[in-house]
Amino acid sequence: MHQGLVDQVAFITGVAKPNGIGFATAKALAEEGVKICITDISPMVHERGEELKTIGVDVTSYVTDLRQLSAVKETAVAVIERYGKVDILCNIAGMVVTGGDEEELVPILNLDERDWDFAIDLNLKTTFNAIKAFLPYMVNKKYGRIVNCSSVTGPVVSNPGEAAYSAAKAGIMGLTRGLAIEVAKDGIVVNAVGPGWITTDASLEGELIGGRNTPVGRGGTPDEVAIVFKFLASPDVAYVTGQLIVVDGGNTIQEYKGPSKYYY
């Protein structure tokens, strides 16, 4: 157990799915003695909270629409009233709304304003709103660790039909870097994680094939992404800020991405 993390308080977004990165991150930090606050737009977040309680974790769960700044601020007030502080903010919510429709691939020619706004709100505005709600408490304390979930899609690569999602995830990196500079002297470091092909129960066949064609030969697991979130949330990470750590099995560094038997 990392003594520097014991009794710290973490607020983690996007923690509805039992096999998602959000829940894996909550468990990884809880193992280090961190008090856990989790939120999602879906009431399933309470189920994740009960699971954590069964293993002795000090956890509180909140249903919050992160797209609404006023709602996030209300949740932040509740967290501070209960725990008196927040040390770690992990912004993981995004991609799709739990219980809603899956992501649609829409070419820019067919992308309407509503779809664009939805992607930006879900993936970028949610991160901005959580930062706006919790940053004042970190600045007042002169300490904080903010870890945003970006992606390889947008900052590094992209796919047809994912312009809006790519723009949002690249925007998270711009937000990460801009904020990192602004709060560096306040004892707050801000970084981002860029997952690649991560295998979950909801992975589509094409995503599974993408994972098998990484240099590692498989998709990553939520736990393997959570390890990086835990690292960046540590008090030891005091001189790393404004950075993107890619977790993709080496996929984005290889030129050839087809079946290895045809090339190497």
Average pLDDT per block of 10 residues along the chain, 264 residues long:
89 97 98 98 98 96 98 98 98 74 80 95 98 98 98 97 97 98 98 96 89 96 98 98 98 90 77
- Read off φ and ψ for residue 204, nearest 5 degrees: -80, 165
Q: Is the pTM of this model over 0.85?
A: yes
Between CA 187 and CA 12 the distance in angstroms is 20
Domain 9-262 belongs to what topology?
Answer: Rossmann fold (3.40.50)
Instruction: Return the active site residues.
Output: 165
- Residue spans per domain, the chain: 9-262
38 neighbors 22 (Cβ within 8 angstroms): yes
Q: Which helix (H) or strand (E) holds 82?
A: helix 69-83
Between CA 258 and CA 214 the distance in angstroms is 9
Biggest alpha carbon–alpha carbon distance for the chain: 59
Between CA 1 and CA 4 the distance in angstroms is 9
Burial of 185 (0-12, 13-18, 19+ CB in 10 A): exposed
Q: Give the pLDDT of residue 259.
A: 83
- Which amino acid is located at 249 in the chain? G
14 neighbors 94 (Cβ within 8 angstroms): yes
**Token pair belonging to 206:** 């094409």
**Token pair belonging to 40:** 């999602």
